Amino acid sequence: MTERVYNFYPGPATLPLEVLEEAQKELLNFHNTGMSVLEISHRGKDYEAVHNETESLFKELLKAPDDYRVLFMGGGASTQFALVALNFLTQGTEADYIVTGSFAQKAQEEAARIGKANIAATTKDDNFNRLPEKGEIKLSKAPVYIHMTSNNTIYGTQWQEIPTFDGIPLIADVSSDILSRPFDVSKFGLIYAGAQKNLGPAGVTLVLISPDMLAKANKNLPVIFQYGTFAKNDSLYNTPPAFAIYLINLVLKWIKRNGGLDAMAKRNQEKAGYIYDAIDNSDGFYQGHARKECRSLMNVTFRLPNEELENAFVAEAKKANLIGIKGHRSVGGMRASIYNAMPMEGCKCLAELMKDFAKKNG
């Protein structure tokens, strides 16, 4: 393989080529230090500048309120499933979970090991092909937070409009659609995202937390599990995943250069549009998994008439340099993950292949 392919893997996922080239260019000599960014102290001014700029760029792109804090943590989104509960679901309290996919379910199950974590709604009976209506969400009396997942990576559903609940802090796992569209973070007490879908490489998890939530976070935990520790020390209590943060810094600049979140949303709509059109115009050859009104712009899930054709499709795609489109086993079929960094051309190529393949095999 000598040329770059179109990489539709769900995560770790494709990164902007420009970003990889920049990282490559300065890998051996970072900002004239004579050292790689991989080698320099996390307490030196060269790294610190990257660290602080990444925090401010992230807030700038999201238009986050000034007093919200960005934390760089380890352990992936899965660690946040536990940390959210450890920090807020203290004894005698309860929290409500909106279960719209297997990651949402894992978040609820992890919290249930720590405290009282109710399922306020679940669409499991429909194999998570939709999101619950507001009327289906049954809140408990006094939840300390409501947890939701903004985009369901495996099933290909995405909240079009974020529900709000008077006076109850909302917490969201935004791992697979952060920075893909304008997003009113002031509605949330806390959001978190593993980086490897839409932000950068695996190894760092971004948390954005409001001052209210920070004040409420549990202080009777090992210090390394407290959000307060990360806030107080600007995420430098211990060694942060510096290289991952550096790459995120480059990705954020790439997003900014390319017009910010409004431009990302517009582009993502057009990209997903090619593939959804190919599904909808196939006379039923392709069946989308997600209900139309819940469709994700990040992960497009669909089936073919049978598994044999699905295997043949994957093989054809591979020949055309379209890699990683096999769906998750819990849905079957195909999943095209088309995060910010997936070029328009990749989506067009996939849509073309879908049309050709349906014509030949339909």
Ligand X SMILES: *Cc1c(COP(=O)(O)O)cnc(C)c1O
Q: Which residues bind ligand X (CB under 6 A)?
A: 11, 76-78, 103, 149, 153, 173, 175-176, 194, 197
If the CB atoms of residues 122 and 153 are measured against ligand X, the closer one turns out to be 153
Closest CB 180 distance from ligand X, rounded Å = 12
> Considering the complex, what minimum distance in angstroms separates the CB of residue 341 from ligand X?
15
Taking the complex as a whole, the smallest distance from the CB of residue 298 to ligand X amounts, in Å, to 9
* 292 exposure class (CB count in 10 Å sphere: 0-12, 13-18, 19+): exposed
The nearer residue to ligand X, 241 or 333, going by C-beta atoms, is: 241
Half-sphere exposure of 194 (CA within 13 A, CB side): 20
Are 28 and 35 a contacting pair, CB within 8 Å?
Answer: no
Q: Report the residue number, 244 or 358, with the smaller CB distance to ligand X.
A: 244
Task: Report the C-alpha gap between 355 and 361 in whole angstroms.
Answer: 10
Nearer to ligand X, 132 or 194 (CB): 194
Nearer to ligand X, 249 or 299 (CB): 299
175 or 226: whose CB is closer to ligand X?
175
Strand stretches in the chain, DSSP E? 6-7, 69-73, 94-99, 116-122, 143-149, 151-152, 157-158, 170-173, 190-194, 205-209, 287-288, 299-303, 322-323, 334-337
Place of tokens 């959804």: 276
Q: How far is the CB of 154 from ligand X (least distance, A)?
A: 8
What is the nearest approach in angstroms of ligand X to the Cβ of residue 281? 29
Shortest distance in whole angstroms from residue 107 CB to ligand X: 8
> Which residue has its beta carbon closest to ligand X?
76
Q: What is the C-alpha to C-alpha distance for residues 50 and 329, in angstroms, rounded to an integer?
A: 39
What end-to-end distance do the CA atoms of the chain give, in Å? 31
